[in-house]
Structure 1
């Protein structure tokens, strides 16, 4: 089959969704399909090495045709400009698609965010009469409403209409959590037969091949430190003020530090907050490449997850699976609806609480540090669980069945 895969992010951008779409595309090629990825031009969440690299608008990468599309800025701009950029995405994507894709298409898969990209899937479906699968990672606009980003009722209604149309035009919808599926059925009226749960996956291979070498500890000047790591995007949803508040309360434990590796809209504000409090136990570093990331998580002691209590959906941060693949114990501060609580408890790979009490959270961090002799067992539990329940092959099998009906 000739499959079009539409996604806002693809490597070298460093995001869970970019890694997954790359692995999906390359696996489908191995299975005999022809895959073309439509994605935005790499500008955000890049490692230092990738920032200076030149990219082609149309290239073959590991058997996958990748079409990169220049769009309006949709990161590190105010929310009004970001909204305009998102609404115009279908125009830019369809313009490149019509110009560059001449072969007959058999199926289209769209990953959301961003929701307007669903219009690309619907248009390709109408053009070719093909099957259209919509994968929902974040439930928008609900997540933006929960976080207080969207407040204007007219704008909310505009995006809710877009959302209803997206769900109605897709032939099948997938979400990565049971709670997300129930939310879409009960709150959004999506027919139950139309929506399936297909978990996000992790390829444990790169984590098995890596051994901690101390390179990142040396690079960051953290030799001998007990490191709590938060890698990824620093935005409103991540509620990282809560982690900084914890760091302030445990700053007297000099062996302990909190390492933030990544970037995002909240980074400068968080750095100013750390300076204002005079915290020496919080360190910020830029993104590392996807190739180096497994080594980074192998060198730290605990992986952190954080989602604000204002979130009302069942979303699970993608980095949870990478921690488990690396046999890294987890401490999670997640909204009560997140299925991360269930996964961590079932796996017995760490601790998960609601982020409603900084003092309680600081006590948990201190207990983890005090009882660090138990962490290896938690890490092994996580690895065993992720290999059993989040296999790349099993998850892609499920997606392929939905695509190739």
Structure 2
């Protein structure tokens, strides 16, 4: 079958690991032809380009700036996406006939593109629901509930659900929220969680990097007595980092060391806070290669996840998958809408507290000082990943509708 994948994520190499690239490789490995349309943002420079390989084509469409930019510019760029993608399809894929249109949120502004391809090619469509917009922006007070921007994107959201033949949600609470707030036929909705192509070597390596861990500790002056907690990923409003920064000022500097790796709108706030408060047990790394980041994860002891407590939409951050692949226990501080708490507790691979509750978060941090506790949770973390988040399962969930 011929699969068209629509995304704003930067994809230039299908071999790079990630929740979307891993899934698309499954299609190729099962002898399907894959075409990817992705955004080439204005900040990157250059024109629209087509990368053509056997059973894979990547069309990078020049767009406005969508990520790491101001909300107004982001909103305008998303509004223009549909016409830009449709024109690119007409120019580069005019003689193609697709069987499946696959896409993920964000963004929610692909409805016209999907409708165009479905009508032209009589294709079926599958939505991987990774985020619920514009409600997430309302939760964070980025847009007004009854304002014109909200109503514009809410209409786009409803149309996206309507044009989707099937919708894969990350969790049961994700499904419940979708159905309770939208007129969607329940028979078209199913659980299809974030998933990856599990690298067995990543976990085995994490248990064999004693020498690497020692070198890592020596390089950054980390004491043998300190447990290394890593946060890797976006540093933005959705993470609600203020509470974490407040916690860091009173963290046990003899027993804990925190590594923050990432970038985003809150990066400068984080770096300034660390400097102003002279936090000697916190390391901030802005730009590192993917390989270097994987090494840092392997040398860490515990993975951290944050979601602002104001969120009313259930969300499961894909960041946990990388931690679990390395066998790291997970400490999460999130809103109460997500079922990440139930997932962590049922799997026994970490601890959860409500975002903003510094007392409970501190207790969870202290619990993981114990090497035996970490070892038990480490094994459970990797096992839960293999049982629930393998990309082969996600592929089969999608393909059962098309076989």
The aligned residue for residue 241 of structure 1 is 242
CA distance in 1, matches of 2:216, 2:203: 18
Note the C-alpha offset of 1:56.
8.3
Note the C-alpha offset of 1:217.
4.4
The aligned residue for residue 70 of structure 1 is 62
> Is the CA contact 1:175–1:195 (under 8 Å) kept in the aligned structure 2?
yes
* Aligned counterparts, 1:123-272, within 5 A: 123-151=116-144, 153-205=147-199, 207-208=202-203, 210-211=205-206, 212=209, 213-214=212-213, 216-217=216-217, 220-222=220-222, 224=224, 225-250=226-251, 252-272=252-272
The aligned residue for residue 91 of structure 2 is 99
Question: Is it true that 1:41 corresponds to 2:35 in the alignment?
Answer: no
Note the C-alpha offset of 1:21.
1.5
The aligned residue for residue 281 of structure 2 is 281
The DSSP-based 3-state class of the residue aligned with 1:32 is: coil
- Cα separation, partners in 2 of 1:356 and 1:5, compared to 1, 3 Å: same
The DSSP-based 3-state class of the residue aligned with 1:204 is: coil
> Is the CA contact 1:112–1:118 (under 8 Å) kept in the aligned structure 2?
no
> Is the CA contact 2:47–2:62 (under 8 Å) kept in the aligned structure 1?
no
- What is the TM-score when the length of structure 1 is the normalising length? 0.89
Structure 1 unaligned regions, length at least 5: 45-50
Q: Select between 159-168 and 283-292 the one with higher mean Cα deviation.
A: 283-292
> Is the CA contact 2:235–2:266 (under 8 Å) kept in the aligned structure 1?
yes
> Is the CA contact 2:104–2:127 (under 8 Å) kept in the aligned structure 1?
yes
CA distance in 2, matches of 1:386, 1:112: 23
Note the C-alpha offset of 1:275.
2.5
The aligned residue for residue 31 of structure 1 is 30
> Is the CA contact 2:228–2:259 (under 8 Å) kept in the aligned structure 1?
yes
CA distance in 1, matches of 2:257, 2:238: 22
Q: Select between 86-95 and 219-228 the one with higher mean Cα deviation.
A: 219-228
Question: Is it true that 1:296 corresponds to 2:296 in the alignment?
Answer: yes
Note the C-alpha offset of 1:274.
2.5
CA distance in 2, matches of 1:190, 1:118: 15
Structure 2 unaligned regions, length at least 5: none
* Cα RMSD for the two superposed structures: 2.6
CA distance in 2, matches of 1:106, 1:68: 21
Question: Is it true that 1:122 corresponds to 2:115 in the alignment?
Answer: yes
Aligned residues: 393
> Is the CA contact 1:329–1:382 (under 8 Å) kept in the aligned structure 2?
yes
- Cα separation, partners in 2 of 1:155 and 1:43, compared to 1, 3 Å: closer
- Cα separation, partners in 2 of 1:209 and 1:5, compared to 1, 3 Å: farther
CA distance in 2, matches of 1:192, 1:109: 19
Note the C-alpha offset of 1:306.
0.5
The aligned residue for residue 371 of structure 2 is 372
CA distance in 1, matches of 2:79, 2:357: 38
